[in-house]
Amino acid sequence: MNNVLTYLLSEVLVYKYLAIFVITFLGAIALPLPSGSVLMAAIAFATQGYFNAYWVWVIGLAGNIAGDNAGYWLVRFYGIRILNKLRLGKFFPDSRLEAARASLDAHPIPAIFFTRFFTSIAPAVNVVSGISRLPYGRYLLFESLGELTEVSCFCILGYIFGSNWEYISKLSGWFLVLILAGWLTSYLVWKIVFKKKPNV
């Protein structure tokens, strides 16, 4: 993964915002790319004057939302067989799809919102949402809010830790710090935005 990340960052430095969009888009649609680390690094580069931090955030958010929606609409229009035609089927084993289906059946809204932080399950949730024809307005709302929270979390960490972003991303294996921070941020957003206030 370090070789992949090094290659991706070299592309980001050459192609800048276009590379950020493509990487986050492909990471959201299915490919196992370290798009979160790329965003952290890009924000760290922004603190050194290589990028505009605001545009890194906007482009990263747009790439993630576009990738999620591409997965949703592909299977909604063409069925799951389109994934095999696009050679993406190997990223959606039956076990992953079943886990996504179980999560959506039990708690559809939290499943869409919270799975944005798990690159292994989020694309499967998008696919199952499309297959089951989950109302698009509902899907888009909570998918976008989830991505807004996730991308903001990565960017804030990249800004705070600056040149130490790579060290932070390696703590406790696969982004444990990011996952914990993401869950905390998600919980706060969920509680503030969606929790109904008791009647006075």
Q: What is the pLDDT of residues 106-126, one digit of tens each?
A: 788 888 888 887 777 888 899
- DSSP SS3 for 118: coil
Q: Mean pLDDT throughout 66-70?
A: 95
Please count the other Cβ atoms lying within 10 Å of the Cβ belonging to residue 174.
12
H-run or E-run covering 170: helix 165-170
pLDDT exceeds 90 at position 6: no
Give pLDDT, residue 144: 94
pTM of the model: 0.79
- Four-point Cα dihedral 80, 82, 61, 133, nearest 10: -40
Q: Using CA atoms, how far apart are residues 185 and 200, in angstroms rounded to an integer?
A: 28
Which residue in this structure is represented by tokens 């999560």? 103
Distance CA(155)–CA(37), nearest Å, equals 9
Break the chain into its structural domains and give their ranges. Answer: 2-194
